[in-house]
Structure 1
Amino acid sequence: MAFFMVFLVIFLLLLCISSALLRWNEVRYRKKGLPPGTMGWPVFGETTEFLKQGPNFMKNQRARYGSVFKSHILGCPTIVSMDPDLNRYILMNEAKGLVPGYPQSMLDILGKCNIAAVHGSTHKYMRGALLSLISPTMIREQLLPTIDEFMRIHLSDWDNKIIDIQLKTKEMALLSSLKQIAGSDSSTISQAFMPEFFKLVLGTLSLPIDVPGTNYSRGIQARKNIVSMLRQLIEERRASKETHQDMLGCLMKSEESRYKLTDEEIIDQIITILYSGYETVSTTSMMAVKYLHDHPRVLQELRKEHLAIKEKKRPEDPINLTDLKSMCFTRAVIFETSRLATIVNGVLRKTTEEMELNGFVIPKGWRIYVYTREINYDPFLYLEPLSFNPWRWLDKSRLESQNYLFIFGGGTRQCPGKELGIAEISTFLHYFVTRYRWEEVGGDALMKFPRVEAPNGLHIRVSSY
């Protein structure tokens, strides 16, 4: 009986302390003009609920407070906007009191010079340097031949095997990018680079608490290891004085380029290229395989397009820019996969001054989460939005140019590598569907938030076509 009374007293005391902490955090962020909402716990806020419940958390908060509400996620007070018109305004008007507002974990791990962290003239300069690497001319003359050669080899030995397509597309996206960045040198660092990069990716979406064993701590250490590898590669190239026709070679030609970058900027630029392309390319490729398996009519139409391209070429002829331009249905499949799977849920901005949005007053230094996920399922924009229907994208004038298409970002922050990513996925699909047929094994489960992933892998049995 005495033990029970002690337990009850401790429980009531903890309950009182918890209630007091929650109340204190609400009062702390109470300010006239702010949108309604809840702030959760001190330090942690509502991050746990956000990461666990994902879209349901957002929908529940919108049902309670409207399409614009306050919260505290990923370590900072945040205004969440689920209003399509406000989202469009924010994305199109970055300079007007708004700058990128990515989580501290992402900024720490990707580096202070990465294109997502900078703004103003620095962003313009860094974006120019990046675009010079992935211009249409670079894609046609250097990057596409490299991608084609890589995809042929990567997909060469899948026949009569059970493979984890999630793992294979992750390896594909990273190793293909490494090949474009470092050319023949990529083979010497790829095995050591890969596990460190995977830890870096996990660390970017975590609470910035540097405690051993956390994703953030592992991500910080992975960044240090990757920076060391890249710095050594740069020093070796400088010492050899050889000319390299790859992205790193272009970045190092500072005396010939209008974009002169320091070694630190070069390294952050490389990490940015790898990070920004990795998740979108790997996940879109995996989900395209999944959706094609589940929709035989779509697969039949896609295969028809690629077999027609293959028939016009010799076996050794690579995919070229003309072939890419003819892949209209393939492009539609990629767009529909990105829309339905929702690889990117939204983007973050930060206020540089107190500002008014939709009648609410947002304090200086707060983040705004432009949550675009639900737009992808809006029945007013997409007929039968939960159906996988690539044909809807064949009318490019209506869909690719519509005002609320944010699957590749928006405004001056629209993904600069959009066309390169589409080229990679298209080339992968070309060799995959013309070489193989496949069936799923194991009924592996999929998660859609905070990342689209199969926790236990996505296994398929592959046979020759």
Structure 2
Amino acid sequence: MWSVWLSVISLLIVISTHWVYRWRNPKCNGKLPPGSMGIPLIGETLDFLVSNNSLDIPPFIKKRMMKFGPIFRTSLAGRPMVVSSDPEFNYYVFQQEGKLVEQWYMDSFDKLIGQDVMTRVSSHRNIHKYLRNSILSHVGPEALKNKLLPHLEDAISQKLQGWSKLPSLEVRKSLAIMIFKLTAKLLMSYDAEKSGDNIDDFFSNFMEGFMKLPINIPGTAYHKCLQNRQKLVNLMTKIYEERKRNPEIGKGDFLDQILMDMKTETFLTDKFIIYVMFGILLASFETMSSTLTLAIMLLSDKPKMVKELTEEHEAILKSREDANSGLTWKEYKSMTFTHNVVNESLRLASVLPGILRKTIQDIEVNGYTIPKGWCLMVVPSAIQLNPNIYEDPLSFDPWRWQGISANVTAKNFIPFGAGMRTCAGADFSKVFMGVFLHVLVTKYRWTIIKGGEVMRTPALGFGDGIHIQGISANVTAKNFIPFGAGMRTCAGADFSKVFMGVFLHVLVTKYRWTIIKGGEVMRTPALGFGDGVHIQVLTKHA
């Protein structure tokens, strides 16, 4: 009996040892890139998901780059993977879409968007091309230039005016809601304000949620992410079904087009369209809200940058023949420093930790072989924080873009991906951010009152959020100067205001008063009070 058990145990040990060996030494027709496959099944996933309170390259990537070089192998979420921060190789890979690689998403993202949708978009170039062209026809450069720019300015102006009446707000969530409502209105003619739908609680940080371990139990970030995803999918279903029931009410939007194309495009099923709508909106509000939040946070303690931004936009306003006219495409294109601020914000944000592809052929690189069927992760942060390209890469320096050529950015600036799969919403995102900054700096000012923590989880996040004091109208800067202005502002300004505040606090809480003589106000031209203002002061209980 003991010999049987001993034989079984020995066999299990042999099998386990062989399995572990095969895990750590995958089959390859050549030499694999250096690296480690980590623990069987788990790989190095836990190390990858460790958060870091910095805009720097995630520690998981940075440590392995230093140890193995710009291209290394690992295993994440049970998948063999090669990670690359080599701009030349990445550029080459993006040009090989459909030949050597195809788009791929992590399993958790498949579940978030809908596995059937992601599989079909990734593997069928004609489907991706159709969706890309359809989106571009409604929010691409021509649509922005000829139709959308005034709509963006009006929507942003109305929203910021509403924000100015609030005592405080959390920036990222507020931006996510604004961008969702605006994009839904442009693409699907959905008016969230008129619908009565309460969508403000749907916007947890989806990116942070799906980058967590995919443990779907109450209390986890991933569980909350899936719950909010279902709420938004239900909303998309409602919008879609209402439009489908009433096709005669043409809106001329993206949803109209896709419904009309159902007659000829067999891949356009009800479920597919609903999840595509959700995916487009998710991509817009997640990435733009995070990037703009970072920009607002970084600008908050950079008065020189805000001053240059403000001067650029005020010059645009002053040059208009009609002071009440809206922003034009020519004016938008002239915003040189604004474009630099947007680019610098995109460079530092690197909202997504990686751009994923799957190899459909063996790929040779630098003497190594990446086997067919492996995943390939291009790391934007490692490319966009490269000190050989960007001096002092962690500093927020919009002026650096004055000397960067298009040849450099082609391979070293990929906030929207690259190649055939470049994000269709890239121009829309940049225009939105530019117009938002235009309205913000010409009409408002803001102060951060809580938060300011930046973290990578490994997706970009902001801890407990960035809270700003209700955006106040930017009138006081030029129209309220009791203590002077500029470099010669009175040094006792704060002391004076605090003294008056404390005086009033003591006066109204403990005393009452009555004017018994005088009360005449005059200017001589200095402020004066004639024979004075005489009061009788009594304690409140007297």
Give yes or no for the alignment of 1:89 onto 2:92.
Answer: yes
2:439 to 422, 431, 440: 431
Give yes or no for the alignment of 1:332 onto 2:315.
Answer: no
1:153 maps to: 158
Give yes or no for the alignment of 1:137 onto 2:145.
Answer: no
C-alpha distance in 1 between matches for 2:321 and 2:284? 29
Give the superposition deviation at 1:242: 1.0
Write the deviation string for residues 82-133 of structure 1: whole angstroms up to 9, x where unpaired.
Answer: 2222122112212222111210111222123358634423322222222222
- The answer (yes or no) to whether the contact 1:133–1:250 under 8 Å persists in 2 is no
SS in 2 for 1:349: strand
C-alpha distance in 1 between matches for 2:150 and 2:109? 32
Give yes or no for the alignment of 1:289 onto 2:287.
Answer: no
1:5 maps to: none
Query: Measured at CA, do residues 349 and 255 of structure 1 come closer, stay the same or move farther in structure 2, by a change above 3 Å?
Result: closer
2:168 maps to: 162
2:36 maps to: 38
SS in 2 for 1:441: strand
Query: Measured at CA, do residues 198 and 320 of structure 1 come closer, stay the same or move farther in structure 2, by a change above 3 Å?
Result: farther
2:23 maps to: 28
1:464 maps to: 473
SS in 1 for 2:296: helix
Give the superposition deviation at 1:296: 1.4
Query: Measured at CA, do residues 21 and 218 of structure 1 come closer, stay the same or move farther in structure 2, by a change above 3 Å?
Result: farther
C-alpha distance in 1 between matches for 2:71 and 2:404? 31
Query: Measured at CA, do residues 86 and 317 of structure 1 come closer, stay the same or move farther in structure 2, by a change above 3 Å?
Result: same
Give yes or no for the alignment of 1:298 onto 2:305.
Answer: yes
Q: Which moved more, 1:207-216 or 1:55-64?
A: 207-216
1:173 maps to: 179
Q: What letter is aligned with 2:379? A: Y
C-alpha distance in 1 between matches for 2:382 and 2:409? 18
Give yes or no for the alignment of 1:447 onto 2:455.
Answer: yes
SS in 2 for 1:299: helix
Write the deviation string for residues 2-43 of structure 1: whole angstroms up to 9, x where unpaired.
Answer: xxxxxxxxxxxxxxxxxx989964642413522222223333
C-alpha distance in 2 between matches for 1:443 and 1:407? 25
Give yes or no for the alignment of 1:74 onto 2:83.
Answer: no
Q: What letter is aligned with 1:34? A: L
Give the superposition deviation at 1:209: 4.7
C-alpha distance in 1 between matches for 2:408 and 2:183? 26
1:50 to 40, 48, 51: 48
Q: What letter is aligned with 1:42? A: P
1:244 to 251, 273, 277: 251
- The answer (yes or no) to whether the contact 2:24–2:36 under 8 Å persists in 1 is no
2:327 maps to: 319
SS in 2 for 1:403: helix
Give yes or no for the alignment of 1:230 onto 2:236.
Answer: yes
C-alpha distance in 1 between matches for 2:162 and 2:191? 23
Q: Which runs of 5+ in 1 are unaligned?
A: 1-19
Write the deviation string for residues 405-448 of structure 1: whole angstroms up to 9, x where unpaired.
Answer: 21221111112111101111112111111111222224532214
C-alpha distance in 1 between matches for 2:348 and 2:324? 35
- The answer (yes or no) to whether the contact 2:93–2:100 under 8 Å persists in 1 is no
C-alpha distance in 2 between matches for 1:448 and 1:27? 32
Q: What letter is aligned with 2:293? A: M
Give the superposition deviation at 1:354: 3.5
For 1:316-465, what aligned pairs fall within 5 Å after superposition? 317-395=325-403, 397-398=405-406, 401-442=409-450, 444-461=452-469, 462-465=471-474
Give the superposition deviation at 1:331: 1.0
Q: What letter is aligned with 1:124? A: K
C-alpha distance in 2 between matches for 1:39 and 1:21? 16
Give yes or no for the alignment of 1:271 onto 2:296.
Answer: no
Q: Which runs of 5+ in 2 are unaligned?
A: 1-14, 53-57, 475-542
Q: Which moved more, 1:265-274 or 1:308-317?
A: 308-317
Q: What letter is aligned with 1:163? A: L
C-alpha distance in 1 between matches for 2:208 and 2:352? 15
- The answer (yes or no) to whether the contact 1:75–1:207 under 8 Å persists in 2 is no
Query: Measured at CA, do residues 441 and 131 of structure 1 come closer, stay the same or move farther in structure 2, by a change above 3 Å?
Result: same
- The answer (yes or no) to whether the contact 2:209–2:225 under 8 Å persists in 1 is yes
- The answer (yes or no) to whether the contact 1:183–1:246 under 8 Å persists in 2 is yes
Give the superposition deviation at 1:336: 0.7
C-alpha distance in 2 between matches for 1:326 and 1:291? 23
- The answer (yes or no) to whether the contact 2:355–2:379 under 8 Å persists in 1 is yes
Give the superposition deviation at 1:70: 1.5
- The answer (yes or no) to whether the contact 1:105–1:203 under 8 Å persists in 2 is no
Query: Measured at CA, do residues 257 and 24 of structure 1 come closer, stay the same or move farther in structure 2, by a change above 3 Å?
Result: closer
For 1:185-200, what aligned pairs fall within 5 Å after superposition? 185-187=191-193, 191-196=197-202, 198=204
- The answer (yes or no) to whether the contact 2:347–2:413 under 8 Å persists in 1 is no
C-alpha distance in 2 between matches for 1:22 and 1:63? 30
Query: Measured at CA, do residues 247 and 148 of structure 1 come closer, stay the same or move farther in structure 2, by a change above 3 Å?
Result: farther
Q: What letter is aligned with 2:180? A: L
Query: Measured at CA, do residues 224 and 286 of structure 1 come closer, stay the same or move farther in structure 2, by a change above 3 Å?
Result: closer
SS in 2 for 1:356: strand
Matched residue pairs, number? 447
Q: How large is the Cα RMSD of the aligned pairs?
A: 3.1
Query: Measured at CA, do residues 294 and 128 of structure 1 come closer, stay the same or move farther in structure 2, by a change above 3 Å?
Result: same
- The answer (yes or no) to whether the contact 2:45–2:77 under 8 Å persists in 1 is yes
Give the superposition deviation at 1:369: 0.9
- The answer (yes or no) to whether the contact 1:100–1:117 under 8 Å persists in 2 is yes
Normalised to the residue count of structure 2, the TM-score between the two structures is 0.74
1:6 maps to: none
Give yes or no for the alignment of 1:126 onto 2:121.
Answer: no
SS in 2 for 1:62: helix
Give yes or no for the alignment of 1:64 onto 2:67.
Answer: yes
Give yes or no for the alignment of 1:106 onto 2:113.
Answer: no
Query: Measured at CA, do residues 385 and 331 of structure 1 come closer, stay the same or move farther in structure 2, by a change above 3 Å?
Result: same
1:308 maps to: 315
Give the superposition deviation at 1:350: 0.8
C-alpha distance in 2 between matches for 1:126 and 1:443? 39
C-alpha distance in 1 between matches for 2:196 and 2:257? 20
Query: Measured at CA, do residues 116 and 80 of structure 1 come closer, stay the same or move farther in structure 2, by a change above 3 Å?
Result: farther
Q: Which moved more, 1:391-400 or 1:380-389?
A: 391-400
Write the deviation string for residues 247-287 of structure 1: whole angstroms up to 9, x where unpaired.
Answer: 32333333899998433332232222212222221112111
